[in-house]
Copies of this chain bind each other. A is one copy, B any other.
Amino acid sequence: MPKGKQSHRVVVVGAGFAGLSAVQALANAPVEVILIDRHNYHLFQPLLYQVATAALTPAEIAAPIRKILRNQKNVTIFMDEVCGVSPTDKSVTTSSGREFSYDTLVLATGARHGYFGNSAWEQHAPGLKTIDDAFELRMRILSAFEKAEAAETTEMRQALLTFIVVGGGPTGVEMAGAIAELSHSMARDFRRIDSTSARIILIEGGDRVLPTFRRKLSESARKALVSLGVDVRTDARVTDIGDCRVTIADKDVRAGTVIWAAGVQASPAATWLGVDTGRSGHVQVGKDLRVEGFDDVYAIGDTAAHIPDGADQPLPGVAPVAKQMGAYVGTRISKYVQGKSTVSNFEYKNFGSMATIGRNRAIAELGALSFRGLVGWLLWGIVHIYFLVGFRNRLILMLNWLWAYVTWQRGVRLITGESAYQPKKHVTKID
């Protein structure tokens, strides 16, 4: 699409935390903004595990991008999928065959789960990054209980009631805790199995869960998981994953459901630009978040690797980093276009981090302070509801949580759709 005369056009690819923040920071800038996303919604990813475990519906954590940006008149939104960038022509192309020229390009295309080169594991152990992933996991988890109820042998039942979560970071810990709670919420629903006998195994390659947190908080999290009945195995390496089977240190464990929460693979943005990346595919960015070697291209959020001064590790792929990167880039472009002095280098302000294990159990680090147990959990709830600002579902989400808390129930135990990893059945079946 050719741009309007004289206007400076910023093309932003991706409407996650990073892309959306960049667009919003450009609200009052004299620019034309084009926002392109594969989906029509912005997803509040930190709560996605609650969709996968039947506690929340997608509409409670996703909002239409158009609705969020309704009043920002300088942005035009296209639901489309970028498949290439031409830095010489200064344009991006999409899978629908459209071409958008840009003056400045912001790549905020996120990341997916990565399998360290073992892509065959994906079908057996899907990960959790999108709403469709959450539906897939929800279907697998709930179906495992259904199949166990119908199973004719003890061996089958035990395998079906075994859930393995690979990866002891926040997503893995949250998934393991949530599955344990789900199994307890269904205690009276089955006649032939005891759903609370489900075995949940959390596998972490390092020596503790939540390794980015302080050691004592990791230990709190481990204890909370164990009290929920989760079998936490640290220093454990997965060497193979097959159909209903995980090989841990050369020993096969049978499991009806395997969930991948171990690795991250950046989007192919680096490939589009033809730049070198590490194994995880991240785009190296400089102090101003521009891609090294490109004057007009920024990369932000989970797809970017930014190593702060004095640090040896890039910033983690979490929401606060993405949001601050987006706001910085939006402001920087706005000043540049208006000929104002450019802002200083990007600096991440770490306000803290938190993870939840389940009802009454969470950990949080805020500066020098540590929180755990009920206090950590309340803090976690307040922060998450606060950051859902702009979603009309905050009230409904609070009511849902309150209801689930009082009744111990999960409201969204629906098995819908068909597995993305299996051949589609004919659609005209009768129920």
Contact = CB atoms under 8 A, between A and B. Distances in A.
Interface stretch (A310-318, A360-368, A374-382, A393-401): A393-401
A430 interface: yes
A78 to B, nearest CB: 5
Interface string A57-83: 111101010110011010111111100
A103 to B, nearest CB: 19
A14 B431 contact: yes
Interface string A386-416: 0000001101100110010001010111111
Contacts of A37: 431
A343 to B, nearest CB: 29
Interface in A260-315: 267-268
Contacts of A400: 396
Interface in A1-44: 14, 37-41
A191 interface: yes
B122 A428 contact: yes
Given A14-B431, A131-B414, A392-B409, A142 B66 contact: no
Nearest to A191: B76
Given A40-B415, A130-B431, A400-B396, A189 B66 contact: yes
A258 B247 CA distance: 49
A425 to B, nearest CB: 9
B430 A268 contact: yes
A76 B40 CA distance: 41
B415 A135 contact: no
A236 interface: no
Interface of A: 14, 37-41, 57-60, 62, 64, 66-67, 70-71, 73, 75-81, 96, 98, 109-112, 119, 122, 130-132, 135, 142-143, 146, 149-150, 186, 188-192, 267-268, 392-393, 395-396, 399-400, 403, 407, 409, 411-418, 420-421, 424, 427-431
Closest CB pairs A-B (n = 10): A66-B189, A267-B430, A38-B431, A79-B146, A59-B412, A57-B57, A64-B413, A76-B191, A420-B427, A57-B59
